[in-house]
């Protein structure tokens, strides 16, 4: 691992342990060249995933981009970072364990929508407004109306 301070490629691991949620390995490192200490987080990547966009272009899957899109939807909402991290880990695990290396962007969007629906209804509507490309207030009304219908209690 390269030292972020001096660029030396020969750093030493001083301590390794799993993160609290076991999604990564936390390593404390030391650079003998400049004497700096730094921490890295390493995740096991089961396979290289490729996102197939709607226009047919392919791009490498970016976990950070997924996390950023969720953070935007959850901005100013009462959701802890730990819960957000668990949602991101869950989506990534589901994608990696699907057995496919090429994942349609729409499939990722649906997984995000499903996760946000269970996590925070406001973030769910925010994300849906972009994902489903709402153009008018009427689009919001129809979407929220469907949510309300789905969440009404069923009477026997």
Do 119 and 81 share a structural domain? yes
Q: List the end-to-end C-alpha distance of the chain, in Å, as a whole number.
A: 62
* 121-131 and 137-151 helices, crossing angle to 10°: 130
Q: Does 110 lie in the same domain as 33?
A: no
Q: Domain of 131? A: 50-148
H or E segment to which residue 134 belongs: none
* Rounded mean pLDDT, 65-77: 92
5 is a domain residue: no
> Domains in the chain: how many in total?
2
What are the C-alpha distances in Å from 35 to residues 6, 26, 31, 105?
10, 19, 5, 44
Q: What pTM was estimated for this model as a whole? A: 0.63
31 and 88 in a single domain? The answer is: no
Examine the domain organization and report whether 97 and 34 are in the same domain: no
Which helix H or strand E contains 81, and what residues bound it?
A: helix 81-96
Q: How many CA atoms lie within 13 A of 86 on its CB side?
A: 10
Backbone angles phi, psi at 19, to 5 degrees: -70, 170
- pLDDT value at residue 9: 93
- Is the residue at 31 inside a domain? yes
Q: Is residue 23 assigned to a domain?
A: yes
Q: Give whole-number Cα distances, 92 to 11, 74, 155, in Å.
A: 29, 18, 37
Looking at the structure, tell me whether residues 29 and 61 fall in a common domain. no
Say if 135 falls within a structural domain.
yes
Q: Are residues 87 and 58 in the same domain?
A: yes
Q: Among 2-6, 21-25, 60-64, 65-69, which is the least confidently predicted range?
A: 21-25
pLDDT in tens, 31-57: 999 999 999 988 766 668 999 998 999
Q: Are residues 30 and 58 in the same domain?
A: no
- Asked if 112 and 38 sit in the same domain, the reply is no
For the cut 60, the answer to whether the pLDDT of residue 154 exceeds it is no
pLDDT at residue number 12: 95
Model confidence pLDDT, tens digit, residues 95-145? 988 888 999 999 999 999 899 988 988 898 888 877 777 777 777 677 777
Q: At what angle do helices 81-96 and 63-73 cross, to 10 degrees?
A: 140
Q: Are residues 87 and 144 in the same domain?
A: yes
155 within some domain? no
C-alpha distances (whole Å) from 107 to each of 4, 38, 90, 155 are: 36, 37, 14, 33
């Amino acid at each position: 691992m390269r030292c972020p301070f001096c660029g030396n490629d020969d750093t030493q691991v001083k301590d390794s342990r799993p993160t609290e949620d076991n999604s990564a390995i936390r390593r404390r490192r030391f650079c003998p060249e400049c004497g700096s200490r730094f921490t890295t987080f390493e995740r096991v990547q089961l396979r290289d995933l490729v996102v197939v966009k709607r226009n047919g272009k392919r791009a490498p899957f970016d976990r950070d981009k997924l996390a950023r899109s969720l953070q935007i939807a959850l901005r100013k909402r009462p959701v802890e970072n730990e819960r957000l991290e668990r949602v991101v880990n869950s989506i990534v695990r589901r994608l990696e364990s699907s057995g496919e290396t090429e994942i349609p962007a729409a499939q990722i969007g649906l997984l995000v929508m499903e996760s946000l629906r269970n996590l925070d209804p406001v973030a769910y509507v925010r994300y849906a407004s972009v994902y489903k490309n709402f153009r008018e207030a009427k689009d919001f009304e129809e979407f929220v109306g469907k949510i309300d219908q789905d969440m009404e209690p069923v009477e026997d």
